Amino acid sequence: MFRDGFKNFLELLKSNPEFSEYVPKFEKIVENKPLQKATKLIKAVSNGDKVHLLVLNHGDFHIKNIMYTEKDGELDDVRLIDFQGSAWGPAVFDLTYMLYMLLDDESRLNRRNEIIHYYFTHLIESLKNLKFEGELPKLTELYKDFLTYKDFELMMITTMLPFMTAFSNDDFDLNTMSNENMITGLYHNPKYVNFVRKALPDLLYKGYLD
């Protein structure tokens, strides 16, 4: 699944004339070991990377690992479970993972900056409540980390999102994950193609395709 994600995505672009301008850019990306680059985020601390914002990441920030309680028909409390993948690392790990594993397309495309700002605002509030004595991080620094580890986000888009989009379909069969023809077909899912159509210009304008 991970091995061929970028190649499958490139084939999608090549098969659709409206994406032709992006083909050369992704051909270059595929040639430069994108999966290896994507995993640099996971190894950022051990590699001694200069990271602007380090936090304790959950590691699998997905809807199935979030428990909710309600009171009088309204949300009362939220708890995270399953911390086996928890690790100290760049804040953009959980944030990027959440964007593509938890949110719907509308939120992912149109409320991204709002959600990141919400996260950052509450992080700063928590640091102040904990009497943090160091220099408080800046939102611009968080965005620098997003750009530094853009390859991880590209991996989420090209490798994980086709499956997450399919999971939203009640007819999705887990057995398709071991069938190469079906996996390729997931990339031509109209819902996924529509997301790609809207996301590519944004990726281009942010410098993610350089």
Give the pLDDT confidence score for residue 79 in this predicted structure. Answer: 76
| In the predicted structure, residue 86 carries a pLDDT above the cut 80 | no
pLDDT in tens, 120-162: 999 999 999 999 999 999 999 999 999 999 999 999 999 999 9
Is the pTM higher than 0.85? The answer reads yes
Ordered by start, the domain boundaries in the chain are: 4-54+88-206
For the record, the structure tokens of 140 come out as 């611009």
Question: Sorting pLDDT into bands at 50, 70 and 90, what band is 70?
Answer: confident
How far is CA 174 from each of CA 33, 61, 90, 114, rounded to the nearest angstrom? 28, 21, 31, 33
